[in-house]
Structures are given as structure tokens and as C-alpha cells.
Amino acid sequence: MQIPVFQILNYTLILVVLILFIRYLWDMFFDREYQPAAWQVAKKTGRLSRQVVQMERHFPDKVRFFNWWFQIERLTREKIPGDFAELGVYKGESARILHHMDPGRKLHLFDTFEGFNRKDLRKETGAAATYTENDFADTNILRVIKRIKGNANLVIHKGYFPETVSGLEHERFALVNIDCDLYNPTRAGLEFFYPRLTPGGVILIHDYNPKWQGVVEAVDEFMRQIPEPLMILPDMEGTVMIIRGK
């Protein structure tokens, strides 16, 4: 009995997809080509917690993950003081990683935990123009805290940024992770955190690419006001980085 050609093509396509999926799982859990030598040494010598090792296995953007780790290692090595902060927390995935990479630092988490504010959506173009107030609204503080599984160094600031910074005017920050997708909160985050960034401290802004024109515009405008250069990382969505001059 002859098998129809279209069935052979279907079986071939299924086999190819299955092979690619198995290769993806293998790369994620077992392949070591994504791991820098410094990370491998830290792992062998027991300097990495079990939680951080597990997070690396499951986090898809290895460049972004290892840059967080290298920056936090640098801050520790150079004894750069200051708290950590994240603006744009959503469900707490990156906050969990940052916290467990240095659980001794206070980590401030800024988010509405209710989705976008309407006034921040009005001027957006590109991919962000499709957003509504319902996007990223499927989260809440309790779920984020449960996901992070952190200690008493987590500080939640719920509400519209920068209205939630009251009382933090004199704080100093060593690392700030900004992941807001929109012009207004990105610009507000840079305006607030940069003057309070400890010399040697770092601000990381995610989604600096043509899809997120508001983010690019906010960063480019702000960079014209400061002396430091903008460093662009080759991660999946284009993180950029500002290290405050000493």
C-alpha cells in the first residue's frame, strides 16, 4: 500500500518540529556553551545559590541573564553601595533573579500591578500603540511576592510612577532595572534614578529597539543630558546600559 505524498510531508514536518523541540530543551537544560567561564568557576566553587543556578537553566535570554550577574558581581567586587530597584515588575520574573543574585541588597519594586495607565498610552507608536489598560494587568502583589520567594529586603511600591517615590528622595541606588515598554515611565524612571545612582552604579533599560519607539525616544532624549555613553547589549530585545561615572 502506497502512502500518499501529503502524509509523508506531514510526517516529515512533524519529525522536524520534534527534533527542533528536543534540541531546544537540550540546549536549555544541558548545553554549556551559553555559560561564561566566570560563571562555571563560580558554580564549581559553590558561590552560586541553588535558586540562581535553576533560574539560569530556565531563563531563555542568556545574554540578559549573565549581564545581570556580571553587573552584580562587579558591584560587589568594587563595593558599590546602594539599593536595587526595578521599574516595571509585572509578575516578578526579573525581580526574582535580581533579588536572589544579591539577597542582601534592598530591592525596591515599582509597578501599578494593575496594568498600564491610560495617560501613558496616548502618545505611543509602534508595537506599544496596540496596548490597552488591560495589558499586563494579570498580576498582583501577593502573586509577585510568592513568585520571588524572597526575604525582608523586598520593598513594594504600588501605584503610578513617579508618584510612588515619596520618601525615597535621599536614597541611593547601585542597580536599576527599567522595563516599562512606554515613553512616559521610562523617561520618568531615568529622571528619578540617574541623579540617585551611586558612582559606579548601573541602570539597565530593556526593549531598546525599533519596535518600542517610546523607549528609544525616552532614552535618546535623556542621554543628551548626561556625560556617560550608552552601552547596547546583544540580548534578545536590546537592553541598554548606563554606568554612572565615578
Which residue reads 558561590 in cell numbers? 47
pLDDT tens-digit map of 68-80: 999 999 999 999 9
What domains appear along the chain, each with residue ranges and CATH number? 47-243 (3.40.50.150)
201 to 187, 235, 246: CA distances (angstroms): 18, 20, 9
Other C-beta atoms lying within 10 Å of the C-beta of residue 183: 24
Distance of CA 181 to the CA centre of its chain: 11
31-40, 85-94, 162-171, 192-201: which range is least confident on average? 31-40
pLDDT of residue 123: 87
Distance of CA 103 to the CA centre of its chain: 17
Beta bridge partners of 157: 110
Distance CA 181, CA 195 (A): 22
Distance CA 232, CA 72 (A): 18
pLDDT of residue 34: 74
Residue 105, pLDDT > 60, answer: yes
pLDDT of residue 11: 65
**What's the whole-number mean pLDDT along residues 182-194?**
98
Grid coordinates given for 49 = 545559590
What is the pLDDT confidence band of residue 225, given thresholds at 50, 70 and 90?
very high
28 to 22, 41, 69, 169: CA distances (angstroms): 10, 19, 18, 42
Other C-beta atoms lying within 10 Å of the C-beta of residue 4: 8
Residue 96, pLDDT > 90, answer: yes
**What's the whole-number mean pLDDT along residues 113-141?**
94
DSSP 204: E
User: How confident is the prediction for the chain on average, in pLDDT?
Assistant: 92
pLDDT tens-digit map of 44-71: 999 999 999 999 999 999 999 999 999 9
Residue 1, pLDDT > 60, answer: no
Which residue reads 513568585 in cell numbers? 147
pLDDT of residue 12: 73
Residue 5, pLDDT > 70, answer: no
What is the pLDDT confidence band of residue 128, given thresholds at 50, 70 and 90?
very high
**What's the whole-number mean pLDDT along residues 175-188?**
98
Residue 136, pLDDT > 60, answer: yes
Residue 201, pLDDT > 80, answer: yes
CA atoms 151, 144, 72, 51: torsion sign:
positive
* Positions of E strands within 124-179: 154-158, 173-178
Distance CA 49, CA 57 (A): 13
Q: Report the percent of the chain where pLDDT is more than 70.
A: 89
H or E element, residue 12: helix 5-29
